[in-house]
Amino acid sequence: MALPYMTKHRGFPGRLPGTDFQFTLRRANPKGATPLIARKRHPDRKPADKRADEGFMEALLHQFGEEPFERGNLDAGRLSWLFEREVMPAEDPFDPASYEALLQIDYRAARASFPQLFADGWTP
């Protein structure tokens, strides 16, 4: 059985350095992409989980900036913590279970959620 097509984002970190928090997939799932869902972020989440969200958001900002990007090999679990808040669908209709789905960073939401990433006036 052939694997579904999945864009691999070259240069994107595979995980948060020094941790097991995964950012990318090595290969496509033969059954198809795991659907993206909007996961609720509770204020009492562990500091390590918050650092993983911040590191992933920083990598997205550096890799894609304001441009729409294909989901590709980005980890569904990690994307789901940001989905429908800082990372929005960039097409209509949107297929949350497609490796080819287009996403885009919502800069206003990203600045509000991760002000430390923009503290020095950084913009892509």
Distance between CA 60 and CA 98 in Å, rounded? Answer: 18
- What are 69-120's pLDDT values in tens digits? 999 999 999 999 999 999 999 999 999 999 999 999 999 999 999 999 988 7
pLDDT band at 17 (very low <50, low <70, confident <90, very high): confident
Q: Does pLDDT of 18 surpass 90?
A: no
pTM of the model: 0.90
Q: What percent of the chain has pLDDT over 70?
A: 94
CA 19 from centre of chain: 17
CA 22 from centre of chain: 11
Domain layout of the chain by residue ranges: 47-116
The residue among 41, 112, 36 whose CA lies nearest residue 79 is 36
Tally of CB atoms within 10 A around 2: 6
From 18-27, 62-71, 102-111, the region with the lowest mean pLDDT: 18-27
